[in-house]
């Protein structure tokens, strides 16, 4: 439940929304069909990927620990 609360706070932050919007505008220029939902989706996903990259850059142990944790969870579920 804490993850969902943190995720909600993050996604509703002004900074996250502004970056998503900026990327949406760039992707919309490449995909001008107003009914195409990809620019919004890409803006959101690329924002998260940029954040992940920055977090991994700041702490090189972060991704290996994340994947080790996922592996441990997978083992518990099998």
The pLDDT value recorded for residue 3 is 78
- Tens digits of per-residue pLDDT, 25-60? 999 999 999 999 999 999 999 999 999 999 999 999
Residue 19 structure tokens: 């970056």
Q: pTM for this one?
A: 0.76
Q: Taking all residues of the chain, what is their mean pLDDT, rounded to a whole number?
A: 93
pLDDT score, position 30:
96
User: Do 24 and 39 form a contact (C-beta atoms < 8 A)?
Assistant: yes
pLDDT in tens, 63-78: 999 999 999 999 999 8
Full residue range of the structural domain in which residue 26 is found: 2-77
Q: Are 39 and 28 in contact (CB under 8 A)?
A: yes
**How many domains are there within the chain?**
1
């Amino acid at each position: 439940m804490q993850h969902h609360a943190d995720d909600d706070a993050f996604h509703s932050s002004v900074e996250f929304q502004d970056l998503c919007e900026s990327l949406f505008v760039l992707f919309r220029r490449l995909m001008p069909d107003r009914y195409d939902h990809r620019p919004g989706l890409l803006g959101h996903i690329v924002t998260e990927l940029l954040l992940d990259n920055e977090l991994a850059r700041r702490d090189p142990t972060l991704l290996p620990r994340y994947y080790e944790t996922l592996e441990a969870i997978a083992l518990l579920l099998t």
